[in-house]
Amino acid sequence: MKRLSYFLFSILLIAALPACKDDDGGGSGNNPNNPPSNLANPHVSGTTVQADFLGRITDQEQNPVSGALVQIGGAFAQTDNDGFYSIENASVDSRFSTIQVQAGNHYDQYRNVRPKTGEVNLVDIRLIPRTFNGFFQANAGGEVEVEGGGSVVFPANGMVDEEGNAYSGQVIVAATYLDPTDMALATYMPGSSAAVDEDGMAVGMISYGMIGVDILSSGGQPLQLADGALAQIEFPVQEEQTANAPDQIPLWHFDEASGVWREEGSAVREGNMYSGEVSHFSFWNCDIAVETVYLDMAFYDEQSGASLSNLYLRLYRPDGTYSNGFTNAEGEVSGIVPSNEVLTVEVYNDDCGTDLLLYSEDIGPFSDDASLDPIGINLPDGYEVISFAGTIVDCEGEPISNALLLSESTETSGSQYAVADENGAFDFSYTCATQGEVEYLFQNLDDLSASETFTIDYDVLNETEYNVGEVVFCESFSLETFLTYEDGQNSFAYGFGSSSGDGECLFLTYQLPDSTSQSDYGTIAMVYPEGTGITGNCWGDESIYLSRVLPNGNQLYTNFIDAVITVTSFDEGPDGVEFIVGTVTGSSQVSILNAGTEVESYTAEATVNFQLTNE
Q: What is the mean pLDDT of the chain?
A: 81
Rounded CA gap, 214 and 198, in Å? Answer: 24
Lowest mean pLDDT among 38-42, 218-222, 392-396, 402-406: 38-42
pLDDT at position 573: 65
Sorted by sequence, the CB contacts under 8 Å of residue 471 that are 6+ apart come out as 390, 391, 392, 393, 442, 451, 454
Q: Is the pLDDT of residue 33 over 80?
A: no
Which has the higher per-residue pLDDT, 355 or 215? 215
CB 544 within 8 A of CB 525: yes
Q: Is the pLDDT of residue 133 over 60?
A: yes
Q: What is the pLDDT of residues 46-59, one digit of tens each?
A: 899 999 888 889 99
Q: What is the pLDDT of residues 482-526, one digit of tens each?
A: 788 888 888 877 767 777 776 678 888 887 654 444 467 788 888
User: CA 197 from chain center: how many Å?
Assistant: 25
Q: Is the pLDDT of residue 106 over 50?
A: yes
Between CA 145 and CA 152, with CA 148 as vertex, the angle to 5 degrees is 30
pLDDT at position 516: 43
pLDDT at position 131: 85
Total-model pTM: 0.68
Rounded CA gap, 108 and 86, in Å? Answer: 19
Q: What is the pLDDT of residues 9-22, one digit of tens each?
A: 333 343 332 222 23
Rounded CA gap, 545 and 523, in Å? Answer: 5
pLDDT tier, 314 (very low <50, low <70, confident <90, very high otherwise):
confident
Rounded CA gap, 350 and 25, in Å? Answer: 9
Lowest mean pLDDT among 77-91, 379-393, 542-556: 542-556
pLDDT at position 478: 43
| Coil/strand/helix, residue 241 | helix
Element (H, E) at 112: strand 109-113
Q: Is the dihedral of CA 55, 61, 65, 71 positive or negative?
A: negative
Q: What is the DSSP letter of 19?
A: G
Lowest mean pLDDT among 61-65, 94-98, 459-463: 459-463
Rounded CA gap, 262 and 285, in Å? Answer: 10
Q: What is the pLDDT of residues 569-608, one digit of tens each?
A: 777 766 667 778 888 999 999 998 877 788 889 999 999 9
Q: What is the DSSP letter of 193?
A: S
pLDDT at position 396: 81
Q: What is the pLDDT of residues 537-549, one digit of tens each?
A: 665 567 888 888 7
Rounded CA gap, 431 and 355, in Å? Answer: 11
Mean pLDDT of 233-243: 92
Mean pLDDT of 324-339: 80
**What residues pair up with 334 in beta bridges, in sequence order?**
296
Rounded CA gap, 33 and 174, in Å? Answer: 12
